[in-house]
Amino acid sequence: MKTIVSNIEENDDYNKIIKEAGEIIRKGGLVAFPTETVYGLGGDGLNPEASKKIYAAKGRPSDNPLILHICDIKQLEDIAETDDIRIKKLAEKFWPGPLTMVLKKKDIVPKSTTGGLGTVAVRMPNNKLALDLIRAANTPIAAPSANTSGRPSPTNGKRVAEDLDGKIDMILDAGSVEIGLESSIIDLTGEKACILRPGAVTKEMFEEVLGEIEVDRVVKDPSSVKEGYKPKAPGMKYRHYAPKAELKMFRGEEKKVAEEINKLAAEDEKNGLKVGIIASLETAKLYVFGEVVVIGARNDDVEIARNLYEILREFDDKKTDRIYSEVFEDGKLAKAIMNRFSKAASNNIIDIL
């Protein structure tokens, strides 16, 4: 398949492109587009054929449900049960924005979109292009991240093309995204609201609106998946966001962490392996082996979130064999950063005492 790549920033014909993209979606085709979180791979969320194509293009297991993206609150009533005051409160506070709500679905939403579940995940993205596209398509757009399943999510159009060129109808390239990590997911189908995936809307922000809420066991303790606990967000059981290299993270006093990483990197290089190191601006100078990449200043969680996936993909480009990283546990986005980072590392986090 020939993929049309439209560079939005360099193109004056914005309206024409959006119209064309909307038509592709309406006819059951696939269009990748930017949102404020990561790039999405969009198809008509009410058309089972379109969701089949999404799963095929990504190589995604079909029991891993898709998020439906809407452009106004009226659209929500078509696809989900909305007589729950918490929905209205959260929508007013956080939409459009990096928040996905899991709700009881209406019959119009095919089970092939929801991974066979009776619930549907819905989000209103805070990105003009995304909202214009949903409006032009005149249907909720099912959009997982626009990457090959398992790889780090794409935070710019070039990374989308790397994974999906030739597999989808169109890519709308508008440069780099704002946040760089996927949305927060909250399950509202139970009595107590429950966080299924941490994101830029934090537990504290939810609690300001809803009072006390829960955090899913798998988010709190990722090893519980291995013990046979079935996650409520089916995507949580898959290895995710991962570079090709083996990634290990180290927690502890910064000099001791650097000492340990230097020791391992020296040994690896002696064995002919290519080593990458992810460090903060403040600690980068402590490393003497491997290729050191600065992810951001220690307290700049916004910058760290924005850089994470691109750095992992750059190490893939360079065919790095092993990546060693510090942990990044400061700031409002720390939970979301460490959730993705530790998954990319298959939970390989070593405490240096």
- Residues lying near ligand AMP in the complex (CB under 6 A) are found at 64-67, 102, 114, 117, 119-121, 144-145, 182, 185, 196, 232-236
Q: Cβ 118 to ligand AMP, closest distance in Å?
A: 8
Q: Is 139 in the site for Mg ion (CB under 5 A)?
A: no
1 exposure class (CB count in 10 Å sphere: 0-12, 13-18, 19+): exposed
Of 145, 155, 183, 325, which one interacts with Mg ion (CB under 5 A)? 145
Which residue, 122 or 286, has its beta carbon nearer to ligand AMP? 122
- Which part of the chain contacts Mg ion (CB under 5 A), choosing from 29-37, 145-153, 165-173, 303-311? 145-153
Residue for token pair 């918490």: 86
Rounded CA gap, 100 and 188, in Å?
A: 10
Rounded CA gap, 115 and 234, in Å?
A: 8
Give the number of other CB atoms < 10 A from CB of residue 43: 31
Q: From the list Mg ion, ligand AMP, none, which binds 34 (C-beta under 5 to 8 Å, kind-based)?
A: none
Q: From the list ligand AMP, Mg ion, none, which binds 119 (C-beta under 5 to 8 Å, kind-based)?
A: ligand AMP
* Helices (H) then strands (E): counts for the chain: 11, 16
Which residue, 203 or 274, has its beta carbon nearer to ligand AMP? 203
Q: From the list ligand AMP, Mg ion, none, which binds 102 (C-beta under 5 to 8 Å, kind-based)?
A: ligand AMP
Q: From the list Mg ion, ligand AMP, none, which binds 70 (C-beta under 5 to 8 Å, kind-based)?
A: none
- Nearest Cα neighbor of 122 from 75, 169, 178 is 75
What the block records as the tokens of 348 is 């390989």
Contacts of 114 (CB under 8 A, 6+ apart): 65, 66, 105, 120, 121
Q: From the list ligand AMP, Mg ion, none, which binds 117 (C-beta under 5 to 8 Å, kind-based)?
A: ligand AMP
For residue 281, the 8-state DSSP code is: T
Give the number of other CB atoms < 10 A from CB of residue 277: 27
- Nearest Cα neighbor of 205 from 121, 124, 90, 109 is 90
- Nearest Cα neighbor of 179 from 194, 201, 157, 150 is 201
What the block records as the tokens of 260 is 């340990």
Q: Cβ 187 to ligand AMP, closest distance in Å?
A: 6
Q: Which residue is nearest to Mg ion (CB)?
A: 145
Which residue, 139 or 183, has its beta carbon nearer to ligand AMP? 183
Which residue, 233 or 286, has its beta carbon nearer to ligand AMP? 233
Q: Cβ 64 to ligand AMP, closest distance in Å?
A: 5
Q: From the list Mg ion, ligand AMP, none, which binds 196 (C-beta under 5 to 8 Å, kind-based)?
A: ligand AMP
Q: From the list ligand AMP, Mg ion, none, which binds 120 (C-beta under 5 to 8 Å, kind-based)?
A: ligand AMP
In the complex, the residues that contact Mg ion under the rule CB under 5 A are: 145
